[in-house]
Amino acid sequence: MAEDHLWWQTGIVYQIYPRSFQDTSGNGVGDLRGILSRLDYLHWLGVTAIWISPCFRSPMKDFGYDISDYRDIDPLFGTLADMDDVIAAAHERGIRVILDFVPNHTSDQHPWFIESRSSRDSPKRDWYIWRDARPDGSPPNNWLANFGGVGWEWG
């Protein structure tokens, strides 16, 4: 019956939050080398895919979900070469790698955001939600932020 299913329908996907998974540098924060060091164990467990939570370059205001550069690994977790090693070693063991890519969580330091806020005429202006204050100067609506407080910040 397994032939009738796609790999992700019958596979075992193990999510890894790099920050807390395995620290190999001794700084108290998990890293890509830590993932690499545990691949044999994950393979032994029968894991067929690892899902790595964001480890891209970030100012870490939102534990790595506020990405400032999707093309680089945050030095807290390692290097692009470390990621290459993790992917190659996982594939050698038949383990697929899924990177948690969250384009709707860019940092205020990401070039897309900086360009978007640079001008009302920016071609990237509609990549984010921008609203003017109400006539009395208050936020445009009553939206709340997930982490508390209002959902609007004036730049």
**CA separation for the pair 57, 98 (Å, rounded):** 17
Model pTM greater than 0.85?
no
For 72-91, the pLDDT digits (tens) are 999 999 999 999 999 999 99
| Token couple for 94 | 């038949």
The DSSP secondary structure of 52-76, one letter per residue, reads: EPP-EE---TTTT-SBSEEEEE-TT
Query: What percent of the chain is modeled with pLDDT above 70?
Result: 97
For 13-52, the pLDDT digits (tens) are 999 999 999 999 999 999 999 999 999 999 999 999 999 9
In the chain, the number of structural domains is 2
**CA separation for the pair 21, 72 (Å, rounded):** 20
Q: Are residues 116 and 155 in the same domain?
A: yes
Q: Are residues 44 and 70 in the same domain?
A: yes
Q: Which residues pair with 99 in a beta bridge?
A: 52
Q: Are residues 73 and 115 in the same domain?
A: no
User: Tell me, what's the pLDDT at 2?
Assistant: 56
Q: Are residues 71 and 21 in the same domain?
A: yes
Q: Are residues 96 and 124 in the same domain?
A: no
CATH number for the domain that contains residue 53: 3.30.750.90
User: Tell me, what's the pLDDT at 155?
Assistant: 60
User: Tell me, what's the pLDDT at 50?
Assistant: 98
Give residue 58's identity as a one-letter amino acid code.
Answer: S
CATH number for the domain that contains residue 127: 3.90.400.10
Which stretch of 1-5, 84-88, 91-95 has the lowest confidence by average pLDDT?
A: 1-5
Range of the domain at 117: 110-155
**Mean per-residue pLDDT, 91-100:** 97
Q: In Å, how far are 131, 139, 153 from 135, measured between CA atoms?
A: 12, 9, 16
| Token couple for 71 | 């093309």
Give the angle subtended at the CA of 19 by the CAs of 153 and 11, to the nearest 5°. Answer: 105
Q: CB–CB of 43/90 below 8 Å?
A: no
- Closest residue by Cα to residue 85 from 70, 74, 97: 97
**CA separation for the pair 78, 21 (Å, rounded):** 13
For 54-77, the pLDDT digits (tens) are 999 999 988 888 999 999 999 999
